[in-house]
Amino acid sequence: MIIVFRPHATQEEIEKIRQRVVDFGYEPKIIQGVEQTVIAAVGDETMHKSLETFETLPMIEKVVPIQKRYKMVSREFSNEPSVFDIGSSRIGSGNFLMVAGPCSVESREQMRTAAGDLTDCGIKVIRGGAYKPRTSPYDFQGLKEDGLALLAEIKEEFGVAIATEILSVPDVERVAEVADILQIGARNCQNYHLLEVVAGAGRTVLLKRGMATMVEEWLSAAEYLIVHGCPHVILCERGIRTFENSTRSTLDLSAVAVAKKQSHLPVVVDPSHAAGRADLVLPLAKAAIAVGADGLIVESHPNPQEACSDAVQQIPSGKFSEFYDELKPLIELCNKP
Ligand code: PEP
Ligand code: MN
């Protein structure tokens, strides 16, 4: 940490702070400028008490932390990109993962048609929400346990892995019984208690970035998962809230590039929730691949017009092969280990 004194701090004040830095377990290095003095407090910031409270002292102008607030997710911890298996698929370091399926699990027929269409295109991980986080309490909230039972049937019948969202702590065990990928939705990215419990479920976790979450906060949320026992974390950029309203969210492709630079974890993109409209999903998916995403999670429904949620953004599952075929050459080009 760097402690910056206000101009003309007295020698006595500087000495007092130097002593406190030592008491907190850091080695102080004093840099005396013409007007201002700075103390660089050398030591592992995660092991010692934070010096940030020094900012409340009258002779201190500011305290600047140098170390990142996350460790295990960082490239400093592991410079090799993480690679792991989900069912019969692999993600990371040139292994591109395509996840597709309806926004919500609605019926057996809907899920069987979607899974049939999507597995015909080579999709091995099917998504579908049984528990839905809806903005309005009057909207479809998901089939909940009945939805989980349908996902279990799909898993069995089609031999696919399942990605589904987990909304609350009491559901963790029953959702983890069916899910290969536990999705933490944008609204729960910083629900730390949920992250801690989900981390112990023994499943891969797909952590969506919150709509107003900075990359550092998103990576710190991933750190919670790793610290609490989940080594297999997939980061997912799904668009953030900006002033722009021609799309549902603004797909922040810079964040994908930054996350991949800062972290060894695989990063996927959800172009469906970013666009909020089906006609933009393909161009956003192409851009995501080009920027280095390790995979995509795309909403696809047998009959989008009849979908109980996110109708306008879903790609008809019967046309998914056209969508996927457009992406395959790019995936091939951009994904080298
Ligand atoms: C979803 O995947 O259906 C969903 C609700 O996503 P998000 O959390 O990104 O809004
Ligand atoms: Mn959705």
Residues with CB under 6 A from ligand 1: 103, 129, 133, 185-187, 208, 238, 270, 273
Cα–Cα distance for residue pair 177/174, rounded to 1 Å: 5
Candidates 3.60.21.10, 3.40.50.620, 3.40.718.10, 3.30.70.1140; correct CATH number of 2-64? 3.30.70.1140
The ligand 1 atom at the shortest distance from the C-alpha of residue 186 is: 8
Closest residue by CA, ligand 1 atom 4? 185
Closest residue by CA, ligand 1 atom 10? 186
Report CA(231)–ligand 2 centroid distance (Å): 26
CB 126 within 8 A of CB 163: yes
CB 275 within 8 A of CB 247: yes
Cα–Cα distance for residue pair 313/307, rounded to 1 Å: 10
CB 93 within 8 A of CB 81: yes
Q: What does the pLDDT read at residue 66?
A: 80
Q: Could you say which residues of the chain have pLDDT below 50?
A: none
Superfamily name and number for 84-334: Aldolase class I (3.20.20.70)
List the chain domain ranges.
Answer: 2-64, 84-334
Q: What does the pLDDT read at residue 337?
A: 64
CB 3 within 8 A of CB 56: no
CB atoms within 10 A of CB 11: 9
The answer to whether 2-64 and 84-334 have equal CATH topology is no
Report CA(270)–ligand 1 centroid distance (Å): 9
CA-wise closest residue to 73 among 199, 234, 212, 187? 234
Q: What does the pLDDT read at residue 289?
A: 98
Q: What does the pLDDT read at residue 33?
A: 84
The ligand 1 atom at the shortest distance from the C-alpha of residue 239 is: 9
Whole-prediction pTM? 0.91
Q: Which ligand places an atom closest to the C-alpha of 187? A: 1
